[in-house]
Amino acid sequence: MRMALKLARRGSRRNSSQPLIGAVAVSEERPAGYGYSSADSDKPAALAALEQAGAKAAGSALYTNIEPCLDAGDVEDAVSRLIAMQPSRVIIGGRLHSSDTAESMLSTKVTGRIRSAGIAVDLGLIEDECRELNSVYYKYAETGLPFVTVKFAASLDGQIATATGDSQWISSKPSLRLAHELRRDHDAVMVGIGTVILDDPQLTVRLVDGPSPLRVIVDGRLRIPLTAKVLSAEGPSRTFIATTDRADPERIKQLEELGITVRVLPRAVVARWVQTPPDGDLASETSELLPALVDLSALLKQLGEAGVGSILVEGGAGIITALLAGHKADRLVVAIAPKIIGRGIPAVGDLHIHRLSDAITFSAVKTRKLGNDIIFDGRFDL
């Protein structure tokens, strides 16, 4: 299975929510064929491995880090071809916790068909490592929601801009390149309207090769200027604006005429802590409807339904804070620059955390130096 996982890491995918698959056909306890997913080929890893095994495919044990053939153009047809090559066992690494999403139902169907052809199926070998490699796929397949990566560049004292809103550029050039790589590797990139107004970003991939993601702007009142760069038709990138019923219908029409997708979503119901007694315990809580904040749960659900498997959230503080407060982020990437700003715009606002034991923590943390910066990359603990 480790060999299958190693092969999977060599592969490439057509979009972020397609799983990377590595497969090894083992005959008489020896590897006889290898395969891995490729964005340039429709041939799934499992079929490549069995074909390479040739006459030894029949009766072999096929090791694959995830259900076989999910990397095929036509999954049903690929499973039929796998069955026809008659391996005696299929051993699958990462187990999918089934749900009612289309991806989950498809993977259940794949194992069901293989089993009913009389081939033994074993699940769950080095499961955690296998799931980690395809974490975007698992999140999307099991919940129907996109995998959310939050990314920002901050000073040593945690500011993402000066008090006047100046943020370009806190981090060094290599970190900017990393930002473009992250854009390329996600299906969508998302920012709040504050960032559009202050920074006027393009949100396209320019510093590396690869496709630009869908641009998602969270703008509850449609304050976006018609001259904003994210609205320009330039390049292949598309733009989606999430707004609320506080938006001017005339403005919606103007934006739609520019070819922009505008969706009116529910307003966020935000929990407000109303009483903090002297011992610091939170005594009571109430919910109130704030004027024009977009309900981010509804937005993520809608993007998931539209086939967006992963989102890179690039700020600003308002959107980052709302996502963290709602436990909606999966991964955090921060470029920490060796600079001190003092009073500025902190990356994360008030999360109403009163005890250190309630602080947000991370696992699978990786750190490295990039240019003058330190890159933090970790998974939010649940």
Ligand X SMILES: NC(=O)c1ccc[n+]([C@@H]2O[C@H](COP(=O)([O-])OP(=O)(O)OC[C@H]3O[C@@H](n4cnc5c(N)ncnc54)[C@H](OP(=O)(O)O)[C@@H]3O)[C@@H](O)[C@H]2O)c1
Task: Please report how close the Cβ of residue 179 comes to ligand X at its closest, in angstroms.
Answer: 8
Task: Please report how close the Cβ of residue 157 comes to ligand X at its closest, in angstroms.
Answer: 13
Question: Between residues 214 and 333, which has the closer beta carbon with respect to ligand X?
Answer: 333
Question: Between residues 23 and 189, which has the closer beta carbon with respect to ligand X?
Answer: 189
CB atoms < 10 A from the CB of 8, how many?
Answer: 25
Task: Please report how close the Cβ of residue 151 comes to ligand X at its closest, in angstroms.
Answer: 7
Q: Apex CA 237: angle with CA 214 and CA 246, to 5°?
A: 55
Question: Between residues 95 and 221, which has the closer beta carbon with respect to ligand X?
Answer: 221
Question: Between residues 53 and 161, which has the closer beta carbon with respect to ligand X?
Answer: 161
Question: Between residues 16 and 243, which has the closer beta carbon with respect to ligand X?
Answer: 243
Task: Please report how close the Cβ of residue 59 comes to ligand X at its closest, in angstroms.
Answer: 55
User: Can you give the C-alpha Rg of the chain in angstroms?
Assistant: 23
Task: Please report how close the Cβ of residue 239 comes to ligand X at its closest, in angstroms.
Answer: 15
What is the number of alpha carbons within 13 Å of residue 53 lying toward its C-beta?
31
Task: Please report how close the Cβ of residue 155 comes to ligand X at its closest, in angstroms.
Answer: 9
* Of 135, 66, 134, 49, residue with least CA distance to 106: 66
Q: How far is the C-alpha of 152 from the C-alpha of 102, rounded, in Å?
A: 33
Question: Between residues 82 and 268, which has the closer beta carbon with respect to ligand X?
Answer: 268
Complete DSSP assignment for 285-324: EEEEEEEEEE-HHHHHHHHHHTT--EEEE---HHHHHHHH
Q: How far is the C-alpha of 154 from the C-alpha of 83, rounded, in Å?
A: 52
Question: Between residues 8 and 191, which has the closer beta carbon with respect to ligand X?
Answer: 191
Complete DSSP assignment for 141-175: HHHSSPEEEEEEEEETTSEEEETT---TTSS-HHH
Q: How far is the C-alpha of 127 from the C-alpha of 171, rounded, in Å?
A: 36
| Contact residues: ligand X, CB under 6 A | 152-153, 160-161, 165, 167, 170, 191-195, 198-199, 218, 220-221, 223, 268, 292-294, 296, 314-319, 322, 345
Sole residue written with tokens 């030894």: 56
Q: How far is the C-alpha of 66 from the C-alpha of 222, rounded, in Å?
A: 43
Question: Between residues 32 and 313, which has the closer beta carbon with respect to ligand X?
Answer: 313
Q: How far is the C-alpha of 373 from the C-alpha of 154, rounded, in Å?
A: 10
CB atoms < 10 A from the CB of 350, how many?
Answer: 9
Question: Between residues 223 and 301, which has the closer beta carbon with respect to ligand X?
Answer: 223
Task: Please report how close the Cβ of residue 101 comes to ligand X at its closest, in angstroms.
Answer: 25
Task: Please report how close the Cβ of residue 16 comes to ligand X at its closest, in angstroms.
Answer: 21
Q: Which helix (H) or strand (E) holds 64?
A: strand 61-64
Task: Please report how close the Cβ of residue 198 comes to ligand X at its closest, in angstroms.
Answer: 4
Residue type, 110: V
